[in-house]
Amino acid sequence: MILMVSVQNLKEAYEAMKGGADIVDVKNLQEALVGSAKPNIFKDVRKAVPADIHASLTLGVVPNQEGTVAMAVWAAGQMKATSVKVGFMQADYDKSVEVLQASKEALEGTETKLIGSLFADNVLYDGGLDPHLMPKLARDGKCDGWLIDTLTKDGRNLFDFLSEVELRDIVMEGKSDGMSTALSGHLKMSDLDELTRVNPDIVGVRGAVCSKGDRDNGVYSESVAEFKRQVELRKSGDIEVLEDISVLNKNINESNGWKVIDGTGKTCAGIIAALSQEINNKSDSFIEVVIPDVLNTYDILMWVEKEKHSILTQRKDEKGFVRILISP
């Protein structure tokens, strides 16, 4: 789980980077419900952000016009955005798929990733596209990942529209598809325990990291740093938020050997994809997966249970990494 901070200008981008944001996401909060920054603003931010920090661009709520959206997405690719987010509110599902597919085509030859987006509060709007469809829409639209956000400005946030259980199921589906998964929507520090249990790849914030908690006051580096610190405490397990899972341990002769999947440096989706591929290739072998992150360990345990595989052992090695032995 990494931290994405929404900024509106270069000054805020510097504050986000100073605080340790993993992704600097440029948007325009003054345009309609949420819109895109002007090209020169994004170009300035892209130039200032070093290669090890992502600079993403949000187009906001897009019209149901595939040519218009594809042209905007193409521009994001030409400006070397790490990713570009295309969001749908009141939209026909099939038309939204067409818009995303045209957007993906527009990014050919670039390294920019296409991120589809729906809003948890779409239910408030006539013809709002159901946010539960996010994983399917991303698959059909040939996206590289997806984001679920909110649009309302009445104090309600993501969890007021989708429960922890619903979000966890949606996120797990996205990870099983090999997608990057992101959640945002007026999230606060007090939501971190729930967010951690859901464990999206990316958590997006703005108001929570602005001066005095007011999104209109601008991003404040010390608030970013504290939010990032709290995320890391939960990732490391120093702050425990996961329910206890008992794992059956059996004595197995390790000299027999088995396939080892090294999950260090991989996202949870990457680990699950590697596991699925190995199981499909040779389903009668034991597979040991090495996981450096407490939260990803929990996701792997849930995935194993969902796929009806068996966990034979779970232990920590000398580096402190969790090693789980799976029997398909």
**Could you give the domains of the chain?**
2-236 (3.20.20.380), 254-327 (3.30.110.40)
Residues 6+ apart with CB under 8 A from 56: 4, 23, 24, 25, 26, 81, 82, 83, 84, 85, 115
Higher pLDDT among residues 33 and 75, named by residue: 75
Per-residue confidence (pLDDT) for residue 248, from 0 to 100: 32
Positions marked catalytic:
27, 85
3-state helix, strand, coil in the chain (%, to 5): 45, 20, 35
CB burial of residue 159 (10 Å; 0-12, 13-18, 19+): buried
pLDDT over threshold 50, residue 245: no
Per residue in 167-217, pLDDT (tens digit) is: 999 999 999 999 999 999 999 999 999 999 999 999 999 999 998 666 677
- CA 180 to CA 202: how far, in whole Å? 8
Work out whether strand 287-291 and strand 322-327 pair parallel, antiparallel, or are unpaired.
antiparallel
Per-residue confidence (pLDDT) for residue 272, from 0 to 100: 87
Work out whether strand 180-183 and strand 145-149 pair parallel, antiparallel, or are unpaired.
parallel
DSSP state for residue 142 in the 8-state scheme: T
The kind and range of the H/E element at 236 are helix 221-236
Structure tokens that stand for 85 in this block? 């987010």
Going by pLDDT thresholds of 50, 70 and 90, the confidence category of residue 269 is: confident
Task: Tell me the CA distances in angstroms from 273 to 259, 278, 280, 324, one per residue in order.
Answer: 15, 9, 11, 16
Share of residues in the chain with pLDDT > 90 (%) = 63
Per residue in 294-312, pLDDT (tens digit) is: 778 878 888 888 888 888 7
Per-residue confidence (pLDDT) for residue 243, from 0 to 100: 56
Asked if residue 173 lies in contact with residue 135, where contact means CB atoms within 8 angstroms, the answer is: yes
pLDDT over threshold 50, residue 255: no
pLDDT over threshold 70, residue 250: no
Per-residue confidence (pLDDT) for residue 42, from 0 to 100: 97
pLDDT over threshold 50, residue 56: yes
Q: Report the chain's mean pLDDT, rounded to a whole number.
A: 88
Among the listed residues 37, 32, 38, the one whose alpha carbon sits nearest the alpha carbon of residue 61: 32
Per-residue confidence (pLDDT) for residue 102, from 0 to 100: 98
Per residue in 126-175, pLDDT (tens digit) is: 999 999 999 999 999 999 999 999 998 888 999 999 999 999 999 999 99
Per-residue confidence (pLDDT) for residue 244, from 0 to 100: 45
- CA 234 to CA 229: how far, in whole Å? 9
Averaged pLDDT for residues 86-111: 97
Going by pLDDT thresholds of 50, 70 and 90, the confidence category of residue 98 is: very high
Strands across the sheet with 310-316, in order? 259-262, 287-291, 322-327, 310-316
Higher pLDDT among residues 283 and 274, named by residue: 274
